[in-house]
Amino acid sequence: MIPRFFLLLVCSLVAYLPLSLMAAKPPAASANAATNDYSQRPEVRAWATEFASKEGIDVDFLFYTLKSAKTEPRILDLMDAPVKAPPLWLEYAPRFLNEDRIGGGVDFSLANATTLTRAQAYFGVPPEIVTAVIGVETHYGRQVGKFRILDALTTLAFDYPRRADYFRVELESFFLLALDNNFPLTEPKGSYAGAMGICQFMPRSYRHYAVDFDFDGRVDLWNTADAIGSIAFYLEEHGWQPNAPILTPLQLSPETIEVVAPLLNNGLSDPQPLKAWRALGVNPASAFDDNTAVSVLMLDADSGPAYYLAHDNFRVILRYNKSRLYAAAVTFLAEEIKARANKTQ
């Protein structure tokens, strides 16, 4: 087996050039897509001038590229949809905890067993967690997104004030990713938020956490092996603890629920030592160190609110996507995939 330090050395040196981008042809412009010459807008020119100066980039190249970026009004609608109507768990869960996702996860894990096992050996993240992330993110690679990344990030950077600062940083990272690896900025397609590949990394994560897990000298997140290794590396880098719990079910009395409810911010509390929770009446059936920092999670189930103790690994999944519903979906899908796979062996 190749030593882990050598893998990380290779990952720090390889070029981040997705193979799928090399073969892609520029997509035809949509007939009804709204056009907007970003290169002539004063705030865009100011940003491009500052970015070019900071990174030593030819500002005319930035203007030329931004001229081809198109405003995508549908992206703005999609970004605001969760804000207008955040789903309940009982509405969210069926999209991911169904036969198609569970059976598909088993098939994916069997087809990629060697790579998943190798990722666990290097990074400590179990196969079912990596598989579940891919299952939730892109339905095992079936839904990687249809928006041009340039259009998505430019639209959000300059026409979505609520998170413009964040998306301007991601747009900068996308330019740097392309320039470092000499691929056309107008070709990659992904999600409406600008996420790319089977694992849906944003450009900044692509640059910092994507790894060449098939050792072909390139990092291609549309490639299954690289996506598997990159997810595992990302989770490890954010504190994944091998063989540690993620969620522990809780049975809370009505009196305890009344005390705990005000501490739940959108269904998830801040972490605090378990002994502090015990003082409020939260007593998990499993034994844990009283000094362990844990959160309380509430999910709206069909039969009423369900409560869980959320451990460090749950918060690591939240680093991948900050939605408690997303992290819960990954956790429970992983459990179902593992249980189903064990039955078939």
Token duo for residue 43? 């705030």
Q: Which of 43, 50, 55, 137 is catalytic?
A: 137
Encode 114-128: b = buried (16+ Cβ within 10 Å), e = exposed. Answer: ebbebbbebbebbbb
Catalytic-residue membership of 137: yes
Residue 208's nearest CA partner among 219, 197, 217 is: 219
Identify the burial level of 77 via C-beta atoms within 10 angstroms of its C-beta, where 0-12 means exposed, 13-18 middle and 19 or more buried: exposed
Of 58, 16, 1, 67, nearest in space to 39 by CA: 67
Q: Are strands 304-310 and 247-250 parallel, antiparallel or unpaired?
A: antiparallel
Can you read off the two tokens belonging to residue 316? 């690591």
The tokens for 78 are: 């999609």
DSSP string, 134-169: HHHHHTTTT----EEHHHHHHHHHHH-GGGHHHHHH
Residue 156's alpha-carbon distances to 42, 146, 168, 280, 319, in angstroms, are 16, 16, 8, 43, 21
Catalytic residues: 137
